[in-house]
Amino acid sequence: MPVILQLLLFPSAATLEVKNETLAIFNQDTGPHSIELIQRFAQAKAFETTVAVHDEREMQRMIDQQQAVLVLRFPETFSRRIESGNGPEIQAIVDGRRSNSGQVALSYLQEIIQSYQAERMLTATPQLQPASEVVVRHWFNPNLNNAWSIVPSLVAIITTISTLIVTALSVAREREQGTFDQLLVSPLTPRMVMIGKAVPALLVSVVQATIILLGGIFAYRIPFQGSFLLLYGSMIFYIIALAGFGLFISSICQTQQQAFLGVFSFMMPAVLLSGFVSPVENMPGWLQIVTWFDPLRHFIVIVKGVYLKDMGAWAVASNAWPLLVIAVLTLGVTDVVFRQRLG
Amino acid sequence: MLSLKSFSEAIANQKRNSPTFRRLFALCRKETLQIWRDPSSVLIAVVLPVVMLLIFGFGINLDSSRARIGLVVEDNGAEVQRFVASFVGSPYIDAIVGTRPQMEQALADGKIRGLVVIASDFAEKLDRAGETAPVQIITDGSEPNTANFVAAYARGAWQVWLRERAAARGQPMPPTLQIDARFWFNPSALSRNYIIPGSITIIMTVLGALLTSLVVAREWERGTMEALLATSITRSEFLISKLLPYYVLGIASELICIAVAVFVLKVPFRGSIVMTLLVTTFFLLSALGLGLLLSTATRNQFDAAQGALNAAFLPSMLLSGFIFEINSMPLPIRLVTYLIPARYFVNAMQTLFQAGYVPQLLWRDIGCLIASSIFFLGLTAKLTKRRLD
């Protein structure tokens, strides 16, 4: 049930798109060009409403009170200067509290202005074709649909949550309930106990990941481009690497509460630094090195790559081997800790 | 003749001796000792906020300040060299030159975020009248936000080249029509400047809701609730003793967070500290109230913590607008965000840090936070029974 809810909520909520915004315009120009441009701006996909403002104080208020993300001002001389071939300037004030949206909205406006200019050029001097033009294509996600980027990441994140909860809390619960002592006196070796804890996590996580995948393919209709074999193969590596972290947290915690906080303290940075929210390449160099130890960072690249880009076996392997290294490290440490506790 | 001073002393004396005050003091002392002696809660109150703030500060950066873009140049004339130079010279672009299959592979592997293709007949078409030489910009759509930046940067570099070319040949160009954009409050448009104030909300949510979600449930689980019930404390004394120590803890880590944000992460702070503490007080009361409510309702630490994660933490991450755009969400979800206290706190913190004092916004936020604290604390008080069921 929570999985379904997350599948519904995440793709539409976790968005950096710019939609339904208000564009405020202070037009001091009386010529035709500003009016033509404003009409085109109003049709941009980022803006739902355009509001006219009539003086500078109002401009300021629109931004201060967050009624618009962007206010444009066409100076009095705007149309005249266009006609005379001088470059007029449109002033824009952007709400710096939402500078990312502001920048994206600005780039939409800039695009509209460019095509307007190109059209004018063409009607003025039809014999002179523009020398060059730009064609933009977005590969792997032609309409830059947010859900296409979020659902594959969600496969990775949901697996993370379930694997960690199952592995980290299980040993702590046995300790709290006293059943851990029974395990101690049984002929099981620490390794067998660890495998016994990891296998259910693997099953639960694979099932949840499959639910998200099916939801992505059939409900969101995001075409699956790659190979299921590669995806599930690397998913097993990923879950083992994570189970290593989970069991390690479990082995050093006495109570479920501590284990829960341990999971939380691990998961929060793991998700934030994985490239899910913002690309790893935007982070400072030292932090990029730290993220190498974040299994989610590698797995998100694999899931997105296989799902959207039909990533090949070689590329998958080059992102999967760090998972193997992480798994060996964490399981090794956990093994030592377990042995001390059990022996 | 009773002077004012001795009068107030008399009141203080009476307060100290009144049973309410003594009980409250004892309970608060017990709760504080419990926080103090559990290393994990000190960890959560001091270490976790700082670590989280640093992660938010360094790890989340939406400004693709240098986009890695591959150039596929199938033509090698002088004009194309100049074109490439405009990309290499752009401060926003890290240009890599390669063959088409290489670059397409790099795009699929996520090593570059976009590529610009110049076909082999580019120079030829450029010079022939009546023909248009196309420049293809391909972005990695699997990262939509970055893709927008890449397309805009590449378009910018192309324009620079086009203008320089026209100028060199004395050709007419349409007048430059630029948008002269000013980012108010945040002139260099750094996403960090609004993400960090917003992320303080997440930290306060974790502190307020997650920690308190455990405290009443813990008393039930450990059986100490019965002992408390056997004493003569009243319901409100019990709740205040649970709130007060965590409130002080929350305010302390808020101050730590602001100090780290301003002095380590260099985020400008333009508001007043008093106003900030006022907003924080009401947000904390609402978060603490939610935590206590979950704890009281479930009487089980595990369920309460999970509830806090789902009812407090996730909404404050997803629906508060601290990174993700509320305006872009579908209408039903947008309506739900009005019920999330974190939304108002994020808004207030962003305004306080960046804009300073905007009374209309801040008082609306405070009003909504007061309403939600009354709701959660009231419900908790209603659920807190002074008997064993």
Looking at CA atoms only, how far is residue B142 from chain A in angstroms? 5
pLDDT in tens, A146-199: 899 999 999 999 889 889 988 888 778 788 788 877 877 788 877 888 888 889
pLDDT in tens, A251-292: 888 877 778 888 888 988 899 999 888 889 889 989 999 999
pLDDT in tens, B341-360: 999 999 999 999 998 888 88
In the prediction, which pLDDT does B386 show?
62
In the prediction, which pLDDT does B172 show?
66
pLDDT in tens, B39-76: 766 777 788 888 889 988 888 888 877 889 999 988 77
CA angle centred on A239, ends A162 and A13, rounded to 5°: 50
Chain A contact present for B359, CB below 8 A: no
User: Is B389 a residue whose pLDDT tops 80?
Assistant: no
Yes or no: say if B326 and A14 are a contact pair by the CB < 8 Å rule: no
Q: Tabulate helix, strand, coil % of chain B (nearest 5).
A: 70, 10, 25
Summary mean pLDDT of chain B: 85
In the prediction, which pLDDT does B26 show?
81
The distance between the two most distant Cα atoms of chain B, rounded to a whole number of Å, is 107
Chain B contact present for A12, CB below 8 A: yes
Neighbours of A210 (CB within 10 A): 14
A1 confidence band (pLDDT: 50, 70, 90): low
In the prediction, which pLDDT does B1 show?
45
Q: Tell me if B108 and A141 make a contact (CB, 8 A cut-off).
A: no
A227 confidence band (pLDDT: 50, 70, 90): very high
In the prediction, which pLDDT does A222 show?
94
pLDDT in tens, B84-142: 888 888 888 888 888 999 999 899 888 899 999 988 888 888 888 777 888 999 999 99
Phi, psi of A86 (to 5 degrees): -90, 150
* CB nearest B183 (choices: A14, A96, A104): A96
| B104 CB-near residues (< 8 Å, 6+ apart) | B115
pLDDT in tens, B145-198: 899 889 989 988 888 888 888 888 777 666 667 788 899 898 888 888 999 999
Which is higher by pLDDT, B301 or A129? B301
- Choose among A117, A120, A146: nearest CA to A45: A146
Which is higher by pLDDT, B241 or A300? A300
User: What six digits make up the tokens of B54?
Assistant: 């640093």
In the prediction, which pLDDT does B189 show?
86
Q: What CA–CA distance (Å, rounded) separates A328 from B134? A: 51
Q: What CA–CA distance (Å, rounded) separates A253 from A231? A: 33
In the prediction, which pLDDT does A126 show?
65
Find chain B residues with C-beta within 8 A of A64's C-beta.
Answer: 355, 358, 361
In the prediction, which pLDDT does B113 show?
92
In the prediction, which pLDDT does B282 show?
95
Chain B contact present for A186, CB below 8 A: no
Chain A, residues 113-132, CB within 8 A of chain B, namely: 113-114, 116-118, 120-121, 125, 127-132
pLDDT (mean) for A69-89 = 85
In the prediction, which pLDDT does A10 show?
86
DSSP characters for A158-171? HHHHHHHHHHHHHH
* CB nearest B61 (choices: A87, A142, A282): A282
In chain A, DSSP finds a helix count (H) and a strand count (E) of 13, 5
Q: What CA–CA distance (Å, rounded) separates A258 from A254? A: 7
Chain B, residues 38-57, CB within 8 A of chain A, namely: 40, 43-44, 48, 51-52, 55-56
* CB nearest A85 (choices: B175, B302, B350): B175
Within a 13 Å sphere around the CA of A20, how many CA atoms are in the beta-carbon half? 10
User: Is B250 a residue whose pLDDT tops 50?
Assistant: yes
User: Is A303 a residue whose pLDDT tops 70?
Assistant: yes
Which is higher by pLDDT, A238 or A120? A238
- Choose among B315, B289, B276: nearest CA to B371: B289
User: What six digits make up the tokens of A297?
Assistant: 């960072």
Strand B178-184's sheet: what is its strand order?
A: A47-52, A21-27, A70-74, A89-95, B178-184
Q: What percent of chain A is modeled with pLDDT above 90? A: 41
Find, in chain B, the residue whose alpha carbon is nearest to that of A316.
Answer: B109
Yes or no: say if B324 and A13 are a contact pair by the CB < 8 Å rule: yes
Neighbours of B266 (CB within 10 A): 12
| pTM, full prediction | 0.86
Looking at CA atoms only, how far is residue A193 from chain B in angstroms? 23
Sign of dihedral through CA atoms A238, A239, A244, A246? positive
Q: What CA–CA distance (Å, rounded) separates A132 from B162? A: 8
Yes or no: say if A37 and A79 are a contact pair by the CB < 8 Å rule: no
Find, in chain A, the residue whose alpha carbon is nearest to that of B109.
Answer: A315
Q: What CA–CA distance (Å, rounded) separates B208 from B282? A: 11
Q: Tell me if B327 and A279 make a contact (CB, 8 A cut-off).
A: no
Element (H, E) at A135: strand A132-139
Q: What are chain A's domains?
A: 16-124 (3.40.1710.10), 146-342 (no CATH)
Q: Which amino acid is at B232?
A: S
Chain A, residues 236-275, CB within 8 A of chain B, namely: 256-258, 260-261, 264-265, 268-269, 272-273
In the prediction, which pLDDT does A129 show?
64
Burial of B120 (0-12, 13-18, 19+ CB in 10 A): exposed
pLDDT (mean) for A2-19 = 84
B2 confidence band (pLDDT: 50, 70, 90): very low
Q: What CA–CA distance (Å, rounded) separates B346 from B328? A: 17
| A139 CB-near residues (< 8 Å, 6+ apart) | A309, B107, B138, B139, B140, B141
User: Is B12 a residue whose pLDDT tops 70?
Assistant: no
Q: Torsion over CA of A108, A111, A117 and A123, rounded to 10 degrees?
A: -100
Looking at CA atoms only, how far is residue A188 from chain B in angstroms? 28
pLDDT in tens, A309-328: 998 899 999 999 999 999 99
pLDDT in tens, B292-302: 999 888 888 77
Looking at CA atoms only, how far is residue A247 from chain B in angstroms? 18
Q: What CA–CA distance (Å, rounded) separates B387 from B106? A: 67
User: What six digits make up the tokens of B81?
Assistant: 């060299």
In the prediction, which pLDDT does A234 show?
94
In the prediction, which pLDDT does A202 show?
92
In the prediction, which pLDDT does A257 show?
74
User: What six digits make up the tokens of A193?
Assistant: 């106990």
Find, in chain A, the residue whose alpha carbon is nearest to that of B214.
Answer: A257
In the prediction, which pLDDT does A115 show?
85
